Amino acid sequence: MTESSFQERKTGIYIHIPFCVQKCNYCAFLSFPASEETRTKYIESLIQEISLYNIKPEKTEHYKAEKNKAEQIKTEVDSIYFGGGTPALLEPEQIEKIVYKIKKVFAVTGDVEITLEANPGALGGDEEEIFNKLSEFGKAGVNRLSFGVQSMNDDKLHLLGRVHSASDVVRDFEIARDIGFDNISLDIILSVPTETRDNSTEADNLKSSIDDVKKIIELKPEHISCYSLQLEEGTVFYDMAEGGLLKEIPDAEDRNIYHAVCDLLKNSDYEQYEISNFALKADGETENKYNYRSRHNSKYWDMSEYIGFGLGASGFLKGKRYRNTTSLEEYCRLVREGKKPIEDVYINNEHDFISEAVFTGLRRIEGISYREAVRFLKNENFGNDESVFWGYYSNVRKEAEEFEKNGYLEIDRKGIRLTETGIDISNRIMALFV
């Protein structure tokens, strides 16, 4: 990757919609059910927050020139991501208003990727209602859907606390296709734990995850995300496990499931480009070989800038990481007063930059190039990229080479990357560079 390509990277925007039908048993995200009145007030505040980033020209005799200058320095945005919660619970006109405001405040590219997370079963009660709502989302600017499928097994969906069935997934996906959505991502959870009264074996658990993925592949979405379930404190699953009501899948078994799923996807025309993410391989006629990779999520892994709007949203802008308040009342009050609802700000130092670049870059299958990492160092021009990188990390080079010797890490003249087995101990390897 060249120096110019770093400078040409555009900014992403994340919009957090915290509302959902009900909290799932595994969910640790900031989300909760809310009335229509609360949702409406929140969207009004959200649009006000976006307005706070508007560059306003001074009203002087040079107003016209200042206005043109303000237009020229607007932040260029090429991805907008509505996450949650369940953003699809909003009305299409609310999404349209948010997108409109973003386009007024920022310089949005013509090929912008606009993703909407949508849970099957939350789009309406019948096919006509679902068709109409998805159609209106498309008219509002949404060109990529991300369905939170999680499983294609109704028993597992019930255990997870999902409100949809496997048949809902197929129905909603096919309706989206009929409308014309040609960029759809499906999320699935691997290694779902079982209740202690369940006598399933390791072979049963493997078959269950493989069956889920096979049914997903049959739909042929453009993108698939596969995550191994983590039991996080504060969730229903965590409390169930603590109370002996839930049997967690052992790590070794989880790793076997993960690799079996990776092999299945790779043999089904999906390219693994990140530890948990797979994109349908583009055909020879597709100009951009990365066409179906998540443009927005890729910004997190290559240290591109992104702005977070909404309750608890995080951002990375001009070397600063920040997070908005998680209090809905405080969020609305601050925005109403014309203040950005930021709760925490952390200014990255040189070490933060390079360690984050390596940590996130190693999540990508292509790894991290020395050029990507050393661009954050003030003395990057003193020597070639490889020597500068290992000069900075001289204290861990021996350990890194030991990981390479044992087949967990690949090191060459361009950069470093995890091997398939290295992914299993990725946190240990990444920790070296933090």
pLDDT at 288 (0 to 100): 53
Domain closes at, from 283, 301, 319: 301
- Residue 67: per-residue pLDDT: 45
Q: What distance in Å separates the CA atoms of residue 312 and residue 323, rounded to the nearest whole number?
A: 6
DSSP lists the bridge partners of residue 145 as: 116, 184
- Residue 211 lies inside a defined structural domain of this protein: yes
Name the residue range of residue 167's domain. Answer: 3-301
Residue 66 pLDDT class (50, 70, 90 cuts) = very low
The pTM for the full model equals 0.92
Quote the pLDDT of residue 4.
Answer: 38
Residue 69 has pLDDT above 50, yes or no: no
Is position 268 within any domain?
A: yes
Q: Determine the residue type at 239.
A: D
Sheet holding 277-280, edge to edge: 270-274, 277-280, 223-228, 184-190, 144-150, 107-118, 76-84, 11-17, 306-309, 314-317, 320-324, 342-347
Instruction: Tell me, yes or no, whether 99 and 223 share the same domain.
Output: yes
pLDDT of residue 106: 96
Percent of the chain with pLDDT over 70: 91
How does pLDDT run across 225-257, given as a tens digit for each residue? 999 999 999 999 999 999 999 999 999 999 999
- Mean pLDDT is lowest, of 97-111, 149-163, 272-286, for 272-286
Report the Cα 326 to chain-centroid distance in Å: 19
| pLDDT confidence of residue 199 | 86
Q: In terms of domains, do 239 and 375 share one?
A: no
Higher pLDDT, 381 or 229: 229
Say what the pLDDT of residue 73 is.
Answer: 61
Q: Is the pLDDT of residue 109 over 60?
A: yes
Residue predicted with more confidence, 173 or 199? 173
In this structure, what is the dihedral angle of CA atoms 116, 223, 226, 79, given to the nearest 10 degrees?
-40
CATH number for the domain that contains residue 380: 1.10.10
Confidence band, pLDDT 50/70/90 cuts, at residue 127? very high
Mark whether 294 and 374 lie in a shared domain.
no
Instruction: Give a yes or no: residue 343 inside a domain.
Output: no
**C-alpha to C-alpha distance for 63 and 158, rounded to whole angstroms:** 60
Please report which helix (H) or strand (E) contains residue 41, including its range: helix 36-51
Among 301, 319, 352, which residue terminates a domain? 301
Give residue 61's pLDDT.
Answer: 53
Give one DSSP letter per residue of 332-396, joined into a string.
HHHHHTT---EEEEEE--HHHHHHHHHHHHTTBTT-EEHHHHHTT-TTTTSS-HHHHHHHHTTTT
Position 70 pLDDT exceeds 50: no
In a domain, 379, yes or no: yes
| Residue closest to 181 by CA, chosen among 189, 172, 191 | 172
Q: Give residue 198's pLDDT band: very low, low, confident or very high (50, 70, 90).
A: confident
Task: Please compute the mean of the pLDDT values over residues 25-35 and round it to a whole number.
Answer: 91
DSSP letter for 413, please. S
57: domain CATH number is: 3.20.20.70
Q: Which helix (H) or strand (E) holds 239?
A: helix 236-242
Closest CA to 17 of 405, 313, 240: 313
Query: Poorest-confidence range of 32-36, 277-281, 319-323?
Result: 32-36
Q: What is the pLDDT of residues 269-309, one digit of tens each?
A: 999 999 999 999 976 554 555 589 999 999 999 999 999 99
Question: Looking at the 3D structure of the chain, how many domains does it have?
Answer: 2
Mean pLDDT to the nearest integer, 403-430 = 97
